[in-house]
Amino acid sequence: MAVLTDPAECGPVTLALCQDVQAEAFDYPEVFFAERIWTPRRVRPPEDEVSAAIAKFRQARKPLIIAGGGVLYSGATTTLKQFAESHRIPLAETQAGKSSLPADHPLNMGAIGVNGSSAANTLAEQADVVLAVGTRLQDFTTGSRALFQNEHGAIIGINTQLFDATKHCALSLVGDADVGLKMIAAGVGTYRAPDEWVRHATGSRGKWLDDAERVMAATNNIGRPSEAQVIGAVNRSVGSAAIVVCAAGGLPGELHKLWRAGAPGSYHLEYGYSCMGYEIAGGLGVKMAKPDHEVIVMVGDGSYLMMNSEIATSVMLGLKLTIIVFDNSGFGCIDRLQTAAGGASFNNLLKDARHEILPVIDFAAHAASLGAIALKIASVAEFESAVAAARANDRTSVLVIETDPQIATKVGSHWWDVPVPQVSSRAEVNRARADYERALLAQDVVS
What is the topology classification, in CATH, of domain 218-402?
A: Rossmann fold (3.40.50)
Which pLDDT score, from 0 to 100, does residue 220 have? 59
Which pLDDT score, from 0 to 100, does residue 11 have? 73
Which pLDDT score, from 0 to 100, does residue 306 have? 94
Torsion sign, CA atoms 269, 273, 279, 284: negative
Which pLDDT score, from 0 to 100, does residue 447 have? 58
Percent of the chain with pLDDT over 90: 84
Task: Report pLDDT digits (tens) over 130-188.
Answer: 999 999 999 999 999 999 999 999 999 999 999 999 999 999 999 999 999 999 999 99
Beta carbons within 8 Å of 145's beta carbon, 6+ residues apart: 139, 168, 417, 443, 444, 447
218-402 has the same fold as 47-207? yes
- Lowest-confidence segment of 3-7, 47-51, 242-246 by average pLDDT: 3-7
Binning pLDDT at 50, 70 and 90, where does residue 22 land?
confident
Is the model's pTM score more than 0.75? yes
Domains in the chain: boundaries: 47-207, 218-402
Report the chain's mean pLDDT, rounded to a whole number: 94
Which pLDDT score, from 0 to 100, does residue 381 have? 84
Is 157 within 8 Å of 166 (Cβ atoms)? yes
Which pLDDT score, from 0 to 100, does residue 446 have? 63
What whole-number distance in Å separates Cα of residue 444 and Cα of residue 148? 8
* pLDDT at 308 > cutoff 90: yes
Which pLDDT score, from 0 to 100, does residue 274 have? 83
* CATH code matching the domain that covers 47-207, chosen among 3.40.1350.10, 3.40.50.300, 3.30.200.20, 3.40.50.1220: 3.40.50.1220
